[in-house]
Amino acid sequence: MNTITPRPVDAVIAAVREFLGDRLSTAQAVREQHSRGEDQTPPTLPDAVAFVESTEEVSRILALCHQHGVPVVAFGAGTSLEGHVNPVRRGISLDLSRMNKVLEVNAEDMDCLIEPGVTRQQLNEFLRDQGMFFPVDPGSHCTIGGMCATRASGTNAVRYGTIRENVLGLEVVLADGRVIRTGGRARKASNGYDLTRLFIGSEGTLGVITKVRLRLHGIPEAMSAAVCQFPDLAAAVNTTILTMQSGIPVARIELLDADQMEACIKYSKLEGFRPAPTLFLEFHGTEAGVKEQAEAVEAIASDLGGEGFAWATDAEARNKLWKARHDAYWAAVNFIPGLRGITTDVCVPISRLADAIVGAKEDAIASGLTTCIVGHVGDGNFHQVILFDPNDPAGLDRAWELDRKIVARGLALGGTCSGEHGVGLGKREFLEEEHGAEALAVMRGIKQSFDPKGILNPGKLFRN
Amino acid sequence: MNTITPRPVDAVIAAVREFLGDRLSTAQAVREQHSRGEDQTPPTLPDAVAFVESTEEVSRILALCHQHGVPVVAFGAGTSLEGHVNPVRRGISLDLSRMNKVLEVNAEDMDCLIEPGVTRQQLNEFLRDQGMFFPVDPGSHCTIGGMCATRASGTNAVRYGTIRENVLGLEVVLADGRVIRTGGRARKASNGYDLTRLFIGSEGTLGVITKVRLRLHGIPEAMSAAVCQFPDLAAAVNTTILTMQSGIPVARIELLDADQMEACIKYSKLEGFRPAPTLFLEFHGTEAGVKEQAEAVEAIASDLGGEGFAWATDAEARNKLWKARHDAYWAAVNFIPGLRGITTDVCVPISRLADAIVGAKEDAIASGLTTCIVGHVGDGNFHQVILFDPNDPAGLDRAWELDRKIVARGLALGGTCSGEHGVGLGKREFLEEEHGAEALAVMRGIKQSFDPKGILNPGKLFRN
């Protein structure tokens, strides 16, 4: 009997197929591609994948899902590391990657309006000739819609802020299909509740973002990169802390520990470096300003035993370095053949960073697991890729156990479980400790107000 | 009969008096002091004023007001220009000005924890010896709690951001007395809904802020101020536009039109200036950086006819200039003896700033009313103080009519009705046009979720 009872999702699929045609797919391979992100969660196949091309299509699909109580999970490039795009309660995976048009660029106001499937690389290629760039750079080939949904940041956040500071406004489709605009083109406003910031970091649980208005920045007159290697992890972290406390406006300051450097040297064929704790830096400004900044950091690093402060002012050498940095995650997960990785995302106040990182590495060594640390240390944020053997039945559990230990230490140091990857499935268990039960109840109240039927990315952010 | 029926507020007053003693006042003079801010709304006397000294007292009072359905209006320094603190439905005025302790300063992390009644001047005096400052500077003697509630900004926002970018977290008492913490000490986080940003700018309608954790900034190595006068308003505005578009990181760039300059010369006894459109600038950075920035702006200003680009690097001359700028509102409202003023708060994209300001001045001239324009023009934000005769029965209405015209022009240029003063009573009528009915309905849904009985600052932000 059960097999012939029509499911609510079948009604949605039939109705959506009428206007989406073959852009609504139930093919096994397509559903598998949308069964999880780059995380290690057990995959779940959605009932169907809808490749949308307009706000109107998103609105019609959400209205149908709302009517029939069918879950909807927004999907961009699938780069989530925390299980955000895994449709744990099945339903429709709403693939926004074809909504990838740059709709407006206003050079005079340094802003632009884009569709959510635009990637940061695509946008920056588009902007290059106009002397502007979009600074938020999580490294992966993610979409900007996904970056908004997870409140992403990355290497440049220490200077230019996270996505939160670089979005002026959004267009959002609500759970029942209504379409709203938030924010505006003015640089600041005090005109009611900050809906823009509420959707940023809401992980697809309050609405589906269909347009984004971004702040842009002028390409600096001068840029230079530098690399410096250290005798131990503490020296590299303390150089970061002193640099930040001195107010030097570094554009990027990234830490790679000895294991991560070894992985990067191998993966990205970096020459001339040792597998030692290393800082990658970038300076933006005028010619004189960049020189002044780099000299100030070099002096701090030298005092702490940093060696071989090497400058790269030409674009090619700089790009090679940053390509290696961006590939650090892949270098780490490919470090030991056959192993896989999960990653932490702890962020602490800068004064506690040495305790957090050195302690996390000690925990890892005690656990017997190999880990690579790479971090946006200017913000106090670091990732520890924990490698585990997928053929060992207890392997993933041991990795999670270490992850929990590192997060607990971060929270005890006044930090957060997630600096930039989001909560998704992976960090739900920490939210109550971090925010307290009452604040979490307030968040649930907001969810209830926006999505009374619970169709938007159910199972994420909250534990049930 | 009616006079002896006990009112719900009487029960609250009796219960609060038990633990607040004579810090709960029903004296006429005290109620009059809490009947409105610095706005021109008709005053309303609260039933009582509670001078609270702790989060616990706030919590107990809110629980009682919630139980009895009695309105509560948070009150700081009473500097609101939009009627926020006017208890239009009476009830309890919750005066937080005695909660004015600096609780923690963390020099290493450049953050601090304060009570909401701390003023920005008080905080900056406290911090001065530690080489740090809090940059958000609306000019008035406002409290930081009030600045959070109205999403305030001011002269430094062009460089350091508004209060929104400078708050790390809050403690908030909810409508029913529950206490929550939002945010944390980490510089960034992706750990659930951004409750901090939701309370910032919520104007006391979602909760009462009882603690604020702020980001601090290092006092720059070098600071210099400059003043430049222009042949006409358009030249001064266009100098601003080009400065911003060139990416020069000015710390302050403030415009005063000819009428405002005349008022300031008179009120602040400024010598050596003509009543002509004028830019006040400030540069922060290293010695070399400050010089570089100032020369770049001087070159732009000269090209556009700016005259007498005068530098002031010594603190005394700089302070005199900024004191005059901070007193600009008082200079304007005292410009013509016997008149009073209301002020606009339009903020537009920078490319539209000349249209907005020059057009607003033409509207004013056509109306026959005297106006003074002063603006945080680097953000596209300007205030036009509209003077009216309080003895003319139609005076205030004529001023509002001009205000509406200036706002309508700002909205048509892609701007907002409020860059930094908030909505309060004065800007409610523009919100639907600005956000659309659906987005406003979403805001109402949030209000309903946080304050189902509607006791928190009722009548503000929304029209009913």
| Cα four-point dihedral sign A358, A363, A368, A372 | negative
Dihedral sign computed on CA atoms, order A107, A113, A119, A120: positive
> How much is the average pLDDT of B176-200?
97
Give the pLDDT confidence score for residue A2 in this predicted structure. Answer: 55
CA distances (Å), B213 to each of A161, A202, B167, B187, in order?
18, 23, 6, 11
What's the whole-number mean pLDDT along residues B70-86? Answer: 97
Q: Quick one: pLDDT at residue B2?
A: 56
pLDDT given for residue B310 in this prediction:
82
- Per-window interface: B 111-170 vs A, CB < 8 A: 111, 150-153, 157, 161-162, 164-165
Residues of A in contact with B420 (CB under 8 A): 188, 190
Nearest CA in chain A to B203: A192
- For residue B325, give every residue at least 6 positions away whose Cβ sits within 8 Å of its Cβ, in sequence order, or none: B139, B155, B254, B256, B264, B280, B374
Residue A313 in this model has a pLDDT that exceeds 80:
no
Let me know: does A446 contact B441? Beta carbons within 8 Å. no
Tell me, yes or no, if A427 comes closer than 8 A to chain B by beta carbon: yes
List, in sequence order, every residue forming a beta bridge with A381; answer none if it has no partner. Answer: A347, A376
Contacts with A, B 215-234, CB within 8 Å = 217-218, 220
Is it the case that residue A339 has pLDDT exceeding 80?
Answer: yes
Overall average pLDDT of the B441-457 stretch = 98
Q: What is the mean pLDDT of residues B138-163?
A: 95
Tell whether A366 lies on the interface with B, counting CB pairs under 8 A: no
Q: pLDDT higher for A221 or B101?
A: B101
Residue A52, C-beta contacts closer than 8 angstroms, at least 6 positions apart: A20, A23, A58, A61, A94, A95, A96, A98, A99
pLDDT band at residue A464 using 50, 70 and 90 as cut-offs: confident
Strand order across the B92-95 sheet? B24-25, B48-51, B92-95, B72-75
Q: pLDDT tens for residues B382-426?
A: 999 999 999 999 999 999 999 999 999 999 999 999 999 999 999
Inter-chain Cβ pairs, chain A and chain B, closer than 8 A = 262
Q: Is the pLDDT of residue A1 over 60?
A: no
Percentage of residues of chain B with pLDDT beyond 70:
99
Q: Which of A191, A211, A242, A407 to mutate to test the interface with B (most CBs of B within 10 A)?
A: A191
Instruction: Give chain B's domains with CATH numbers.
Output: 2-95 (3.30.43.10), 102-218 (3.30.465.10), 221-332 (3.30.70.2190), 336-455 (3.30.70.2740)
Cβ separation A418–B286 shorter than 8 A: no
A139, two tokens: 């490294």
Q: What is the mean pLDDT of residues A270-295?
A: 93
Instruction: Give the per-residue pLDDT at A319.
Output: 87
**Mean pLDDT to the nearest integer, A326-347:** 95
Residues of A in contact with B379 (CB under 8 A): 186-188
Distance from CA of A43 to the nearest CA of B (A): 23
B157 pLDDT above the threshold of 70: yes
Which residues 41-60 of A are in CB contact (within 8 Å) with B? none
DSSP state of B42: P
pLDDT at B3: 62
Residue B267 pLDDT exceeds 60? yes
Section A404-415 average pLDDT: 97
Q: Which residues, in sequence order, are CB contacts of A2 under 8 Å at separation 6+?
A: none
State the smallest CA–CA distance between residue B273 and chain A in angstroms. 31
List pLDDT tens digits, range B10-65. Answer: 999 999 999 999 999 999 999 999 999 999 899 999 999 999 999 999 999 999 99
CA A399/CA A418 separation, integer angstroms: 17
Average pLDDT over residues A4-11: 90
A380 → closest Cβ in B164, B186, B419 = B186
From chain A, pick out residues whose CB is under 8 angstroms from the CB of B185.
348-349, 414-415
Nearest C-alpha neighbor of B254 from the set B139, B144, B140, B375: B375
In this predicted structure, the answer to whether residue A312 has a pLDDT above a threshold of 80 is no
CB within 8 Å: A436 and B241 = no
Average pLDDT, chain B: 95
The reply to whether A305 touches chain B by the CB within 8 Å rule is no
Give the pLDDT confidence score for residue A321 in this predicted structure. 87
> What's the gap in Å between the CA of A260 and the closest CA on chain B?
23
Cα dihedral value B449, B455, B460, B464, nearest 10 = 80
pLDDT at position A48 over 90: yes
User: Does pLDDT of B1 surpass 70?
Assistant: no
Question: Between A152, A195, A349, which is nearest B442 by CB?
Answer: A195
Q: What is the predicted pLDDT for the residue at B271?
A: 87
Amino acid identity for residue B194 in this structure: D
The pLDDT, as a whole number, for residue A3 is: 62
Q: Give the pLDDT of residue A187.
A: 95
ipTM of the complex: 0.96
Task: Supply the pLDDT for residue B410.
Answer: 97
Name every chain B residue with its beta carbon within 8 A of the beta carbon of A292.
286, 288-289
pLDDT range class, residue B5, cuts 50, 70, 90: confident
Enter the tokens of residue B314. 């010594």
Q: Does A24 have pLDDT greater than 90? A: yes
Minimal Cα distance from A221: which residue of B?
Answer: B247
pLDDT class of B318 with cuts at 50, 70, 90? confident
Looking at every residue in chain A, the average pLDDT score rounds to: 95
Cα separation, B368 vs A147, whole angstroms:
51
More confident site: A1 or A108: A108
A42 pLDDT band, cuts 50/70/90, is very high
